[in-house]
């Protein structure tokens, strides 16, 4: 049993400390622990500036922590040689906060970027075929491929970013605020897409969000960042049972109540 549990943890963060400034004096994380289980959609919430994006950047190796250990797929990811890191990096996809598509490249070319990085020398026709497949998979019309990001709506840009994150058929997907800036209908559609891709592709999803609708609609568990660490992780019901003032305010404030109502309406429709 213990062994099986070990195998089912895809990301294990222990004792993470991150800080900025010359001496790292602006401490963002201190003693942060978190486990992400295989096949779950884990929502990560916390006030603005609590370090959600920095946590994601630490896990994917873009931010070197001051202390702590991070394992992904059972491998330590801190301080790896680039050549070793590549084998792990290939197994995840990332949609950064804000989308960050290359504005001078078409959607199709954006999707090809990670493929070319990890598999240089692939035939151009094959690259285009893979990109076209990813574009359609994220619900974009096929003619979106040759378009530039500036020609797309906000929701389409997010889908293009998702297509790029899925370029290498990852097992693990990192999404940083994927529905920020979308209207409620666009956001709900993106949530549905995330959930259906998670199910069909068997993905594990690390999902940073402010969007209470998203938390209620698709997250299996939610991790709450506050006081420089993960103060609680569990289902929304488990979190509410903790009686923590910030959690209470977050989920039971006016926006939380609206999200419950909308989740109930969605449930009633199915
Ligand atoms: N490269 C950096 N250099 C210096 N400080 C940074 C850097 N990146 C993040 N920080 C600081 O770390 C803290 C956490 O930032 P982070 O971007 O992780 O917040 P967040 O929880 O993602 O916020 P939001 O919800 O607004 O996206 C902030 O105080 C931020 O100013
Ligand atoms: Mg952020």
pLDDT in tens, the chain (270 residues): 444 545 599 999 999 999 999 888 899 999 999 999 999 999 999 999 999 999 999 999 999 999 999 999 998 888 777 777 788 889 999 999 877 799 999 999 999 999 999 999 999 999 999 999 999 999 999 899 999 999 999 899 999 999 999 999 999 999 999 999 898 899 999 999 999 999 999 999 999 998 899 999 999 999 999 999 999 999 999 998 998 888 988 888 777 777 777 777 777 776
Residues lining ligand 1, Cβ inside 6 A:
20, 28, 46, 48-54, 97
Residue from 29, 45, 52 whose mutation best tests the ligand 1 pocket (most atoms within 8 A of CB): 52
Q: Residue 194 Cα, ligand 2 centroid: separation in angstroms? A: 19
89: nearest Cα among 120, 56, 114: 114
Ligand 1, atom nearest to 50 Cα: 21
Is the pTM higher than 0.85? yes
List C-alpha distances in Å: 105 to 108, 132, 151, 159, 251: 8, 15, 12, 15, 40
Tell me which residue has its CA closest to atom 2 in ligand 1.
Answer: 20
């Amino acid at each position: 049993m213990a062994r099986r549990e070990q195998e089912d943890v895809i990301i294990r963060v222990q004792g993470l400390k991150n800080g900025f400034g010359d001496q790292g004096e602006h401490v963002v994380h201190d003693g942060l622990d978190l486990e992400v289980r295989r096949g779950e959609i884990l929502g990560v919430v916390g006030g603005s500036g609590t370090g959600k994006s920095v946590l994601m950047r630490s896990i994917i190796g873009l931010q070197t922590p001051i202390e702590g250990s991070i394992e992904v797929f059972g491998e330590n990811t801190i301080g790896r040689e680039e050549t070793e890191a590549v084998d792990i990096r290939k197994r995840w996809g990332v949609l950064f906060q804000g989308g960050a598509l290359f504005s001078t490249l078409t959607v199709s070319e954006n999707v090809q970027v990670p493929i070319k990085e990890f598999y240089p020398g692939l035939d151009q026709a094959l690259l285009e075929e893979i990109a076209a497949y990813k574009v359609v998979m994220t619900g974009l019309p096929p003619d979106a491929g040759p378009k530039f990001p500036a020609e797309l709506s906000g929701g389409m840009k997010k889908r293009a970013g998702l297509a790029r994150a899925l370029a290498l058929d990852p097992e693990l997907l990192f999404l940083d605020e994927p529905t920020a800036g979308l209207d409620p209908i666009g956001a709900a559609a993106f949530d549905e897409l995330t959930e259906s891709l998670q199910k069909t592709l068997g993905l594990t999803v690390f999902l940073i969000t402010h969007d209470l609708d998203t938390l209620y609609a698709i997250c299996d568990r939610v991790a709450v960042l506050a006081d420089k660490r993960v103060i609680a992780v569990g289902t929304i019901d488990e979190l509410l049972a903790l009686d923590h003032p910030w959690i209470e305010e977050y989920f039971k404030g006016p926006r939380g109540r609206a999200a419950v109502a909308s989740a109930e309406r969605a449930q009633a429709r199915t």
